[in-house]
Each structure stands twice: as C-alpha cells, then as structure tokens.
Amino acid sequence: MKRVHNFNAGPCVLPKAAINATIEALRDFSGTGMSVIEVSHRSKEWQAVMDETEMLWKEILNIPDGYKVLFLGGGASLQFLMVPMNFLEKKAAYLETGVWAKKALKEAKGIGEVVCVASSADTTYNYIPKGYAIPTDADYFHITTNNTIYGTEIREDMDCPIPLIADMSSDIMSRPVDVSKYTLIYGGAQKNVGPAGVTFAIVKEEALGKMSRYLPTMLDYRTHVENGSMFNTPPVFSILVMNETLKWLKSIGGLKVMQQMNEEKSSMLYNEIDRNSMFVGTAEKASRSVMNICWIMADGYKDKEELFMAFAKERGMVGIKGHRSVGGFRASLYNACPKESVGALVACMQEFEKLNK
C-alpha cells in the first residue's frame, strides 16, 4: 500500500503496529474464531480488553486513585452537555480559545449561568488569554487545552482554585499530565489515542452525584462508572484500536519520550516557517501548539497559496489545507506522525521557496 505523509487534523495517523494488530483482530479476535466486530461485548475476551485499556490509561498517564476512566460514545460534543449536566449547580466559568471552546460554553449556557472569563476571539483565537481571574464561587472552570483550528495550546497544568475540567481531545497523551489537578478530563480519541468512535473521560469519582437536578441515565457519569463503560454496547472496534495504540505508546517509552519527540517535530516545522520568506505562522509564538501548526503565505506571495498546495500534494503531503474558517495551511503532528514526514514537509517548503521566490 502506498503511504503518504499524513497531516490530517483527525481522524489522524495511527501507529503501524496498532493498525497491523487491528487487522489481525478483524480476522480472528483473541482466538475466538470471530472478528472483533462480531464478538459479544459480554464475553470474557472482550472484558479483558476493557480492563487492559483502562489499566494502560492509568499506567501511562499516572492517574491517581479515586479516578475512573470511561469509554463513551457521542464524541467531545456530547461531553459539552454532560459536563454542565453533572457539575453546574449555580455557575460555571469558561475560557474561550476557539470554536470548540465556544461550543462547550454554548451548551453550558443552556443549563445554567456561565461566565466567560476571557476570550481570544478578538484576533481569531490566535493566542491563549492570560491575566484573567477565575471566579472562586463558580462550580468549575472549563478549558480547551489545544485548539486544532488555530494552532494554540495550553501546555501546562494550571493551579486552579475551583474544580478544573479540560477538553483534551487533541493533545491528550502528547505529554505528561498532572491528573490530580483536574476533576474531569475528556476528549475524542481520534487525534492521539485511536480512531473516531470512542470518547474518553477521566473523572474524579468523589465529585459526582452532587447535582440537585434530575440527570438522564445516559448523561449521568455515575451510570458509566457503575457499569464499567458497558451500560450499553461500547464501540468495540474503536476501543480495540485505542488499546493497541496505547500499547505502542508504552513500548516507545511513554509520555516523557513522546513529549520530546513531539517537541522535536514541531520545532522542525516552526523553525522552517520562521525562516522561510514565503510563509508566516499565524499563532502567537508564546501560545503555539505542539500538535497543530498553522501558517499562511507571507505578504507578496498570497497568490501562490493554491500553487503551494498543489506542489505539496505532488510530493505526498496530505491534510495540510487549513480549516475552512481560517484558510492557509495546517499540519497536525500527532503522536504517530513520524519525524520523517515532518522532514519531508520542511524539504518541500524549502524547495518551493527556491523555485518561486
């Protein structure tokens, strides 16, 4: 099979080891004589996968006691509603750093009072706000740690005076995280930890069950905690790929190694963007994402955007077109994106400059 340099923002490039193991499980899952997409989710073979996947999350991310890892459906978009349903009693605080943060805030407003403590919408979300005050009378503070469309990222675990909740859809497992600083971490798997179809939620169990409102059964985190993420049939295929992806991550040395690899890849591309006279980065340098690198043509070269897109495509670059809302270019350097692909993109940019400057 012909392989390209895959920079898609999601679903993302996955480790070859995970893909190959999944192919085998599609043929015969754990010696059952059935494909993984046929096997009963109540079988002991599948239960072993569920147990192992949660164990891998806890081991790799160093999740402390008192937290439960859940595997759900509905994507991060359903979590935008589940979060306020389960945690918003009087008031919630949100940091607005992009489209997905804005959508999360909108859902919360439908449940109760919400305060937007700061927003970077004034400059099309090209920076992470600083110097804002978190209201101590709010039930929780919600952040989106990485903003795929705009290429900005919160790269440290903040000290928060109230329960901290984070959408980490696009940078989970890219670096070590102090989970103890969060009440809930959630996200779609389709960036770093698997394919589309499964949502992870790491929830502090003692924080649940404090709402005075009625919680619909499927929207209550306690339902999924009490039933081991199998109140209803789980997305077995997506969880299996997640399991194999986490095994790969563990095998290469875990999150400290992964962080170093990701920082090396992003530095390679940012250095070229900053050096190359034909391109300009769009995110404020202090807020730049390690996962999603965004850039545009420099002044004087705006008319060459489509030309570069075609030039890069001819050289095997896939998924570098910027989001439709901002244009330009975007390369998503998720965990399984190889350094060689980043090097190929850098070489492509250098060649384009020589031919067109």
Question: What is the tens place of the pLDDT at every residue in 129-162?
Answer: 999 999 999 999 999 999 999 999 999 999 999 9
Asked if 204 is an active-site residue, the reply is no
Q: Say yes or no to pLDDT of 268 above 90.
A: yes
The CATH number fitting domain 254-356, selected from 1.10.10.10, 3.90.1150.10, 3.40.50.720, 3.60.150.10:
3.90.1150.10
Dig out the tokens for 192 from the structure: 């770093």
Q: Residue 4's pLDDT band (boundaries 50, 70, 90)?
A: very high
Give me the residue spans of the domains in the chain.
Answer: 16-251, 254-356
Quick check: 5 and 345 in contact, CB under 8 A?
Answer: yes
Dig out the tokens for 288 from the structure: 């730049």
Asked if 57 is an active-site residue, the reply is no
248-258 b/e (C-beta count within 10 Å ≥ 16 → b): bbeeeebbeeb
Q: What is the pLDDT of residues 44-55, one digit of tens each?
A: 999 999 999 999
305-320 b/e (C-beta count within 10 Å ≥ 16 → b): beebeebbeeeebebb
Identify any residues that bridge with 114 across adjacent strands, giving them in sequence order: 92
Q: Residue 281's pLDDT band (boundaries 50, 70, 90)?
A: very high
pTM of the model: 0.97
Q: Residue 308's pLDDT band (boundaries 50, 70, 90)?
A: very high
Mean pLDDT of 329-340: 98
Q: Which one of 68, 100, 220, 295 is the catalytic residue?
A: 100
Q: Which one of 46, 57, 68, 191 is the catalytic residue?
A: 191
The pLDDT of residue 162: 98
Q: Say yes or no to pLDDT of 357 above 90.
A: no
Dig out the tokens for 229 from the structure: 């993420």
Asked if 191 is an active-site residue, the reply is yes
Q: Which one of 46, 57, 68, 167 is the catalytic residue?
A: 167
The pLDDT of residue 1: 58
Dig out the tokens for 78 from the structure: 């359903």
> Over the chain, what is the mean pLDDT?
97
Quick check: 278 and 305 in contact, CB under 8 A?
Answer: no
Q: Say yes or no to pLDDT of 2 above 90.
A: no
Identify any residues that bridge with 95 across adjacent strands, giving them in sequence order: 118
3-state secondary structure of 307: helix
Q: What is the pLDDT of residues 207-243, one digit of tens each?
A: 999 999 999 999 999 999 999 999 999 999 999 999 9
Whether omega for the bond prior to residue 11 falls within 30 degrees of 0, making it cis, is yes
- Residue 224: name the closest of 65, 68, 74 by CA: 68
Mean pLDDT of 110-114: 97
Mean pLDDT of 202-208: 98
The domain defined by 16-251 carries CATH number 3.50.20.10: no
Cβ neighbors of 264 (< 8 A, separation 6 or more) are 339
End-to-end alpha carbon distance in the chain:
35
Mean pLDDT of 289-293: 98
Q: Say yes or no to pLDDT of 3 above 90.
A: no
Q: Say yes or no to pLDDT of 336 above 90.
A: yes
Sign of CA dihedral 339, 343, 348, 353: positive
Dig out the tokens for 169 from the structure: 């859809």
